[in-house]
Amino acid sequence: MSVRSCLFLHACFLLANSVCVLYMQDLRKLVAPLLKSFQAEIDALSKRSKESETAFLNVYKRLIDVTDPVPALELSLQLKLQRMHDIDTENQKLRETLEEYNKEFAEVKNQEVTIKTLKEKIREYEQSVRNQAENLALEKQQQIHKDYEEKERSQSHESLVGKLQEAELKAQTLQTDTRAAKVSLE
């Protein structure tokens, strides 16, 4: 290699090195705020982690003194199971009562139908009795009218018979008087 080429290479190297140094300085300027924000985030996370650990330790210290909740939970579960059993029993009783009421209601409905039928029969019977009463009243009225006419005829006949007998008696009396007058005239 020639000196010239070595110088050229050396110049190129220096130029590249200068460009690299300039680039690195620009890159540092660009990356520095990013690195600062990463460091700030890491510091904040570290602080939060310490606070979380402290809070966890405080909660743990409080919980370590607390009694075991299992017996209380088991008792609560037993009470709930007993209450569920009581509710199931009450529910069954209510279903039985409801069934009895439904049967009673059906019987009452049947009785209502029977009552309705009987009321209809009573209305029909009352109408029939009314019709019969009207017919009997009409017949009785006609019978009374006939009896009255017959009685009137009978009384009229008796009156006529009485008058006839009276007239016959008068006629006999007149005949007797006429004969006596004839006899006395003779």
- The whole-number average pLDDT for the span 109-136 is 91
pLDDT in tens, 64-80: 877 877 888 899 999 99
CA distances from 161 to 91, 148, 155, 172 (A): 99, 19, 9, 16
Mean confidence (pLDDT) of the chain: 84
Q: Break the chain down into helix, strand, coil percent, rounded to 5.
A: 95, 0, 5
| Confidence grade of residue 124 (pLDDT, cut at 50, 70, 90) | very high
pLDDT tens per residue across span 21-65: 666 666 567 667 767 887 888 888 889 889 999 998 898 888 787
What is each CA distance from 160 to 154, 155, 164, 170, in whole angstroms? 9, 8, 6, 15
Q: Is 138 a residue whose pLDDT tops 80?
A: yes
CA torsion, points 169, 173, 179, 180, in degrees to nearest 10?
A: 160
How confident is the model at residue 28, as a pLDDT? 65
Residue 174: pLDDT band with limits 50, 70, 90: confident
In this structure, the number of other CB atoms found within 10 A of the CB of residue 175 comes to: 10
- Cα dihedral sign, 110-113-118-121: negative
pLDDT for the residue 62: 83
User: Per residue in 135-154, is it b (16+ CB within 10 Å) or e — as a string?
Assistant: eeeeeeeeeeeeeeeeeeee
Tell me the mean pLDDT in the region 95-107. 91
CA gap 126, 118 in Å, rounded: 12
Residue 93 is predicted with a pLDDT of 95
